[in-house]
Amino acid sequence: MELQLENGNYTLPIEQHAKLKWSMHVLLLFMIGLFGAFLFLPIDGVYFNVAFKLIWIFAIAFFLYAWLFIGVLRLQTLKITQNGIEIRTAFGTKRANWMEIYDVQVFSIQRNTVIGLILKEQIKKRKQSFLSEINNTYGGMFSIRIPIAQFPSLDIETLYSTIRAQLKLQPTDLDLSQENQPEIEKQGEPNRLISILKLTLFVLLWGLVYGISIYLLKTNFILIPLFGLMFVLYFYQKNVHEEVIVWPIRFVVGLLCALQIFIAMITNLFLTASIPFSLRNLYEISSAYMMYLKDEPTNNMLVIGMAVALFAYGTFHGKTFRIVKGMSKFFMKRDGHYVYKRDGRIVEIYVINPVDFQDDETKFVVYLNEGCLIEREGKRVKALLLPLKAMSELSLTIMGSQIVQHGDEQYTRIDLGGTGSYVPYVFPCVLICSNNKEVELIRIELP
């Protein structure tokens, strides 16, 4: 189906079939051949041999099916109509009408750009938890995902703008009444002592589990303490909302992150030597083990290294020291009043000195979802225009900016060496401001 444009958006309906790049064909065929070769590897033990061969066969079938469905037969399709959106993949079909969609966002997974759709039903059912946070990190909050690389005929900005235009046509009542919203706990003054006690109990239990796993499996799985670290930090951040870092509390958190390592090692010693548990034995074994670490550090580099790394991350997570900011500033680019950097699709423009910027919960954050203009030269941002009306209504100021007229509108111009060739910027523009509403950082996305 030939794509047509109207007012900068695609004319609906559109239907596109997926098409893989040649590099993806090579990768999928390589994976098929690799797992096929694994089938001929000799493995000791009948049960292990059968189990691993079944795994290799499943992997071959998975990659072969994906290659045939998407790359050869091109059965993966995307349909967008006046009624809604539908995407057919190798593992099922997902569809939603426009009234069911809550929001559209652009995100990246391993440098692959994806347009994700969040459904209203999912908003009603979502619950904040440790597992949901991990799931969201990999795009799990999106019910429908459109991998842009598999539809090379589609322009990501035009597609995103088309979807947003359809969502804006829907009634403003999102059918998300207050009783349907996820319950938000009212945060009072956090009780840090109670939080630390709960974390101590968790670290004790997790260290025991870790130690038992070492004893039973005869292997030290490093992922186990990493998951422990992730839970400790998640629980701490969820229950203790830091406006400023309290270093004695952070020091204790770091110790708890490292403590799971020593609990696991001591637990493994008790189990391996069949030592009966008593407080006296616990004290003697723990003291002897710590002296062993002190006297033989070279033989325990893995344990000591893991403990130090966990302690450091638990203590200093979220904190960037001025010397590090100063060093990173040398790798940023400067144009006029502004310093900026690009990380993948994200461009951050610093209005203030990057060394002085503190990204914390006291900042005032504004999202400009429409009305912005941008000038680009390839993948480089040359200028950004923010609607003056919106800036004035919010009483926002930007140091070093200019007021310019473009068409019938006035804009606040962020000049990075541009010449005045502007196009609409369709993605959200994030302004991070101080408490007195002076913009300190501008964060934008590129296709």
Residue ranges of the domains in the chain? 5-168, 192-316, 332-445
CA distance 404 to 9: 27
Q: What is the mean predicted confidence (pLDDT) over 330-337?
A: 79
Q: Which neighbouring-strand residues pair with 445?
A: 346
CA distance 389 to 430: 16
Q: What is the mean predicted confidence (pLDDT) over 405-416?
A: 91
Q: How deeply is 189 buried, as exposed, middle or buried, from its count of CB atoms within 10 A (0-12, 13-18, 19+)?
A: exposed
With a cut of 60, say whether residue 368 has pLDDT above it: yes
Parallel, antiparallel or unpaired: strands 402-406 and 77-80: unpaired
Which residues, in sequence order, are CB contacts of 384 under 8 Å at separation 6+?
349, 372, 373, 374, 375, 413, 414, 416, 425, 429, 442, 444
Identify the residue with better confidence: 124 or 13: 13
Kindly report which listed range (41-45, 376-380, 436-440) carries the lowest average pLDDT score.
Answer: 41-45
Tokens read off for 104: 């559209």
With a cut of 60, say whether residue 187 has pLDDT above it: no
Identify the residue with better confidence: 201 or 5: 201
Place 444 in a pLDDT band, splitting at 50, 70 and 90: very high
With a cut of 60, say whether residue 190 has pLDDT above it: no
Measure the CA angle with vertex 365, ends 361 and 368; round to 5°. 160
CA distance 297 to 341: 41
Query: Per-residue b/e over 35-73, b at no fewer than 16 CB within 10 Å?
Result: beebeeeeeeeeeeeeeeeeebeebbeebbebbebbbee
Residue type for 174, please?
Answer: L
3-state helix, strand, coil in the chain (%, to 5): 45, 25, 30
Name which of 123, 117, 52, 127 is nearest 85 in CA terms.
Answer: 117
Tokens read off for 419: 């010449």
Residue 215 in contact with residue 271, Cβ under 8 Å? yes
H or E segment at 66?
helix 46-66
CA distance 138 to 110: 10
Q: What is the mean predicted confidence (pLDDT) over 256-269?
A: 94
Q: Which neighbouring-strand residues pair with 404?
A: 411
Measured between alpha carbons, how far apart are the two ends of the chain, in Å? 23
CA distance 195 to 315: 16
Give pLDDT, residue 138: 53
Give pLDDT, residue 181: 42
With respect to CATH, is domain 5-168 assigned 2.30.29? yes
Give pLDDT, residue 343: 84
The three-class DSSP label of residue 360 is coil
Alpha carbon 130 to its chain centroid, in Å, reads 14
pTM over 0.85: no
User: How many residues in total does the chain contain?
Assistant: 447
H or E segment at 93?
strand 92-97
Alpha carbon 393 to its chain centroid, in Å, reads 32
With a cut of 90, say whether residue 243 has pLDDT above it: no
CA distance 374 to 411: 11
CA distance 431 to 414: 12
CA distance 2 to 11: 10
Residue 359 in contact with residue 432, Cβ under 8 Å? yes
Helices 130-137, 223-239: crossing angle, 10 deg rounding: 110
With a cut of 70, say whether residue 363 has pLDDT above it: yes
Helices 192-217, 223-239: crossing angle, 10 deg rounding: 170
Which residues, in sequence order, are CB contacts of 334 under 8 Å at separation 6+?
340
CA distance 391 to 95: 37
Residue type for 30, please?
Answer: F
Residue 411 in contact with residue 385, Cβ under 8 Å? yes
Share of residues in the chain with pLDDT > 90 (%): 50
With a cut of 90, say whether residue 41 has pLDDT above it: no
Give strand ranges (E) for 120-206.
144-147
Place 188 in a pLDDT band, splitting at 50, 70 and 90: very low
Parallel, antiparallel or unpaired: strands 346-350 and 112-119: unpaired
Alpha carbon 349 to its chain centroid, in Å, reads 20
Give pLDDT, residue 235: 84
